[in-house]
Amino acid sequence: MLLSSKRALSPATSSSSKRLRTSPAFRPKKIASSEAAAAVDSDPPLSKLLKVVEDGKATRKSGQSVVYWMRMGDLRISDNRALSLASAHAKKSNIPLVVVFMLSPQDYLAHDRGARRIDFTLRNLALIKESLGTLHIPLHVVTQPNRRTLPQAVIALVEELDASAIYANIEYEVDELRRDTQVCKAAKSKGIGAILVHDKCVVEPGVVETKQNRAYSVYTPYQKVWLTKLNADIPHFLENCSKPHPNSESVRKTAKFAKLFDSEVPESVSGFEMDPADHTKMEQVWPAGETAANDILLRFLRTKSRSSQLGAVDPLAAGAEDSSKRSRISVYDAERDRADKDTTSRLSPYLAAGVISARACVRATLPPNTNTNKAAATTVDGGKTTGVGRWVQEVAWRDFYVNILAAFPRVSMGRPYLEKYALVVWEGPALEDAYADEPGRPISEAEIARAASNIEKWKSGHTGYPIVDAGMRCLNEMGYLHNRLRMIVAMFLTKDLMIDWRVGEKYFMEKLMDGDLASNNGGWQWCASTGVDPCPYFRIFNPHSQSTKADPTGDFIRRHVPELSSVRGPDLHNPPALVADKLGYPRPIVKHDEARVRALRRFKDPGTA
């Protein structure tokens, strides 16, 4: 029997999203048609938002407060541009600043957020509420059940607080930009100021362009111009935005605002509850708060890597050894691809949630006591030959992918950047519940079952390829994976198993603590060869040789695949059948050499089975 690819595939789905998804009323579309994506690309929502923001500048009314709308990507008080501007406005007008946060479970479902990421948000919000409280600034957390009416709910709240203006940092995803455009228009029509500013990147989208004023789709020239622009105006790009001024203590006694101080940060969001054991582990591995983020950054700048930090352990555990010459950042150029030690910073969850700013990360690479808010500070090292330079280049990758999301919003609509690869024949349907604009190809039940089984083995780390399994089990255990291993497991899913990259992208979003649409989509489309500046489709990683490079000591595999903990030498990376059988480890679910030939055929001529 043949089925349309819209038919449910049903491999492991997180239980939280399963519950919400069963509601017939909420079925967000995941994959737009190529025409719809092209239309959005030709008139990007960011330009529309910026136009409305500009138009709105003149129409300020006086009010009794100023609102800063905090979002999931800017969970901090220090160096937060919108918060800083909102605070200055409130101080100048001698009125209180109010911080609001809207919890939107339907958005979390539509955007494949996992319980871990929602919980991290709540943990950070609880600390922020405490810190703001010492400044007599209320943090008001509201749960908005219907995402379609969120703009109206925000405006109603702003009116209730009699705010003269609402400030926020821009989110660059299509849904969020459209939502904010609605909010800005509504605010403007009521004479309320709506000020949305860039904050997420070091160099904001739109600044780095080709000579023809187009967005770069290749990283190397982008990074070159990125660095030149940054070094030409360090005080602007690396500005350390001032912390908010305290409100007058009397705000706690006013009828309008007093009750806001009683508003609680919920312990969980319905549909995204954590398993208690996982919750305890995540608290240990990813402690919330700006202090933790700064300490993790300092560790990266000052101390050596340790293999004891491989698993789900406290990132700030005792025993780190100081070294200026061998600190993780100093040797980052040589060691960053080693997954058998904590060679990288592990700051991504904090950057993705905005617990630390990208500006702060780059500022930290400058000589001590550099005052970046003064002109002619110094030069940012973004070169290939030093650890610092290489690390700054990674931060630039983050900016690059945000720039892509803003310039080519199609990537946020479930489309490949390179539309010609939309025809590539994947095994099974595009997603378990691919609510798509276009019908898929007919797929047999046998193929659906085979794909579902392979996806399940990939997700749980039972593919018979030790480095892939170690990577997937690490992701499941600690909500994080080293970049090289993300590449290896993503390449394996898309090229060896020929499973659609959108399946992997979704699973990463659900599991990763640093899940971020721009970087995640960029990474997946790179590995699937469908994206900007992608890995060429004929460069297919061999998981065995990648394994010996990424994990030469084998410590990473042994840590995450206990069945193989007794194996030494090359067998660890490619266990012979007899060794695997004896240890209860699966044999490879696919033969790499054969799979490679199939992938080359399907990519060379998209549409060929």
Ligand X SMILES: Cc1cc2nc3c(=O)[nH]c(=O)nc-3n(C[C@H](O)[C@H](O)[C@H](O)COP(=O)(O)OP(=O)(O)OC[C@H]3O[C@@H](n4cnc5c(N)ncnc54)[C@H](O)[C@@H]3O)c2cc1C
d(CA 477, CA 16): 17
Residue 454 Cβ vs ligand X, minimum distance, rounded to whole Å = 18
Q: Contact between 101 and ligand X (CB under 6 A)?
A: no
Binding mask 385-414 for ligand X (x = CB under 6 A): ---------xx-xx--x-------------
State yes or no: is 594 an active-site residue. Answer: no
Stretch that binds ligand X, among 2-10, 174-182, 226-234, 341-349 (CB under 6 A): 341-349
State yes or no: is 160 an active-site residue. Answer: no
Which residue's entry shows tokens 């360090």?
234
Angle between helix 543-550 and helix 483-491 axes, rounded to 10 deg: 170
Find the catalytic residue in 521, 524, 526, 574: 524
Q: Among residue numbers 507 through 566, which ones bind ligand X (CB under 6 A)?
A: 508, 512, 514-516, 519-520, 522-524, 527
Could you give the C-alpha distances from 336 to 223, 275, 342, in angstroms and in order? Answer: 19, 32, 9
SS3 277: helix
String of DSSP letters for 399-466: HHHHHHHHH-GGGGGT--SSGGGGG---SS-SSTT--BSS----EEHHHHHHHHHHHHHHHHT-SS-H
Contact with ligand X (CB under 6 A) among 352, 418, 452, 599? 352
Q: Which is nearer to ligand X, 77 or 488 (CB)?
A: 488
State yes or no: is 524 an active-site residue. Answer: yes
DSSP bridge partners of 165 = 66, 193
Stretch that binds ligand X, among 120-128, 190-198, 264-272, 339-347 (CB under 6 A): 339-347
Which residue's entry shows tokens 């000579």?
211
State yes or no: is 146 an active-site residue. Answer: no
Q: Among residue numbers 454 through 513, which ones bind ligand X (CB under 6 A)?
A: 482-483, 486-487, 490, 508, 512
State yes or no: is 483 an active-site residue. Answer: yes
Find the catalytic residue in 226, 286, 458, 501: 501
Radius of gyration (Cα) for the chain, nearest Å?
24
State yes or no: is 264 an active-site residue. Answer: no
Contact with ligand X (CB under 6 A) among 346, 473, 560, 602? 346
Q: Contact between 348 and ligand X (CB under 6 A)?
A: yes
Find the catalytic residue in 394, 419, 447, 563: 394
Please name the residues in contact with 254: beta carbons below 8 A apart, sequence gap of 6 or more.
none
String of DSSP letters for 361-387: HHHTTSPTT--TTSSS-------SSSH
d(CA 569, CA 546): 15
d(CA 390, CA 336): 9
Q: What count of other Cβ atoms lies within 10 Å of the Cβ of residue 487?
A: 20
Q: Which is nearer to ligand X, 226 or 508 (CB)?
A: 508
541 annotated as belonging to a binding site for a ligand: no
Instruction: Give binding residues for FAD as ranges.
Output: 332, 344-348, 391, 394-401, 514-516
Instruction: Give binding residues as ranges.
Output: 332, 344-348, 391, 394-401, 514-516
Which residues lie near ligand X (CB under 6 A)?
Answer: 336, 344-348, 351-352, 394-395, 397-398, 401, 482-483, 486-487, 490, 508, 512, 514-516, 519-520, 522-524, 527
Catalytic residues: 394, 397, 426, 483, 501, 524
